């Protein structure tokens, strides 16, 4: 019976996490959505500014999917040219690593106090009441990750390790990460669970990175699905987002051993190592694509004419 309670607890915790991510994104868009949209449409001439804005927008919205779909819709409406969206799309992948960094630094431990602060502001915040909900959902997001880690700590490690042994092969780990991200429609959910599994010793560094990189590719499915109902420019944005992640993994994965050595040199526990390699990998991809942004732009245009 205990196993059933653990499974139900994990399902509930993951559901709470998804609810928190979606709710947090919605209330943030209600508060600053128009400002983000205005900023996105004003930064059409400078790829570096777009990169910074894409990073910040994704970190604020806690969703790479939300930012990429917003960018695709702006391109579809003609407010952004396809070329001007590329820097923003590149920045999305840096912004999506923020959640992993916060989990690695045990931000979960103060999450109950953030939830309480959000409730207090909602009830007695006066003119600041509108900020209560985003603070509450932000705290709830990390509290749900704490619940997931608590329930996973009761799972039999040998049984779970045996189940996850299939991910010891890099390509299978990436495939599993893609499927999980498409299923949850959130790379943040997948990366957070992977960090927890790594922290509890159920998977090693190589398995963790394979799963997270797969989740990075899988999360582009949201904007791909959304672009099917939009025009040519939106489809270019969706394709660029997918190719950025897919080609980045193809190019850099053979050199992943060097990334392992770098994060081990930086020191820290395995959760810090996973979060750091995820960040460094995406930063490296971004630098490469920023250097070759014009050939990449021409390549995508040659596919969707």
pLDDT tens for the chain, 305 residues: list them. Answer: 457 888 888 888 888 887 887 787 778 777 766 666 676 666 656 788 888 888 887 877 767 777 888 788 888 878 788 888 899 899 988 888 887 888 777 777 888 898 999 999 988 878 888 888 888 988 888 888 888 878 877 776 666 666 677 788 888 889 998 988 888 777 777 888 888 888 888 888 888 888 888 988 988 888 888 888 888 998 999 999 999 999 999 988 888 888 778 777 776 788 888 888 888 888 999 999 999 999 999 999 999 87
Tokens of 68: 């990429």
Predicted confidence at residue 162, as pLDDT, reads 67
Q: Domain range for residue 69?
A: 2-303
Q: For residue 95, what pLDDT is reported?
A: 87
Query: 206 by DSSP, 3-state: which?
Result: helix
User: What residues have CB less than 8 Å from 208, skipping those under 6 apart?
Assistant: 194, 195, 197, 198, 270, 274
Residue 123, pLDDT score: 87
Q: What is the DSSP string of 30-95?
A: HHHHHHHHHHHHH--S-HHHHHHHHHHHHHHHT-HHHHHHHHHHHHHTTSS-HHHHHHHHHHHHHH
Number of continuous H segments (helices) and E segments (strands) in the chain = 16, 0
80: Cβ contacts below 8 Å, ≥ 6 apart: 40, 41, 44, 71, 74
Q: Give the DSSP H or E segment for 284.
A: helix 270-291
How many separate domains does the chain show?
1
Question: DSSP class of residue 126?
Answer: G
Q: What is the DSSP string of 148-189?
A: HHHHHTTS-HHHHHHHHGGGGSHHHHHHHHHHHHHHHT-HHH
């Amino acid at each position: 019976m205990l196993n059933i309670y653990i499974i139900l607890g994990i399902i509930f915790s993951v559901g709470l996490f998804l609810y928190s991510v979606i709710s947090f994104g919605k209330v943030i868009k209600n508060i600053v959505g128009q400002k983000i949209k205005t900023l996105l449409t004003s930064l059409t001439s400078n790829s570096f500014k777009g990169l910074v804005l894409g990073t910040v927008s994704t970190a604020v919205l806690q969703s790479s999917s939300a930012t990429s779909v917003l960018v695709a819709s702006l391109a579809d409406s003609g407010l952004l040219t396809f070329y001007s969206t590329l820097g923003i799309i590149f920045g999305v992948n840096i912004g999506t690593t923020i959640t992993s960094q916060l989990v690695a630094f045990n931000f979960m431990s103060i999450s109950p106090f953030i939830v309480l602060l959000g409730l207090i502001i909602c009830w007695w915040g006066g003119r600041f009441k509108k900020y209560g909900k985003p603070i509450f959902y932000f705290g709830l997001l990390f509290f749900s990750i704490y619940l997931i880690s608590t329930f996973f700590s009761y799972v039999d490690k040998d049984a779970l390790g045996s189940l996850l042994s299939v991910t010891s092969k890099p390509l299978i780990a990436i495939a599993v990460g893609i499927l999980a991200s498409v299923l949850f429609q959130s790379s943040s959910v997948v990366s957070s669970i992977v960090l927890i599994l790594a922290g509890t010793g159920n998977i090693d560094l190589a398995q963790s990175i394979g799963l997270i990189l797969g989740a990075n590719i899988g999360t582009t499915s949201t904007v791909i699905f959304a672009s099917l109902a939009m025009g040519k420019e939106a489809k270019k944005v969706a394709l660029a987002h997918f190719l950025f992640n897919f080609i980045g993994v193809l190019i850099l994965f053979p050199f992943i051993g060097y990334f392992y050595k770098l994060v081990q040199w930086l020191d820290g526990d395995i959760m810090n190592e996973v979060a750091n390699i995820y960040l460094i990998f995406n930063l490296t991809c971004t630098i490469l694509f920023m250097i070759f942004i014009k050939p990449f732009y021409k390549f995508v245009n040659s596919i969707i004419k």
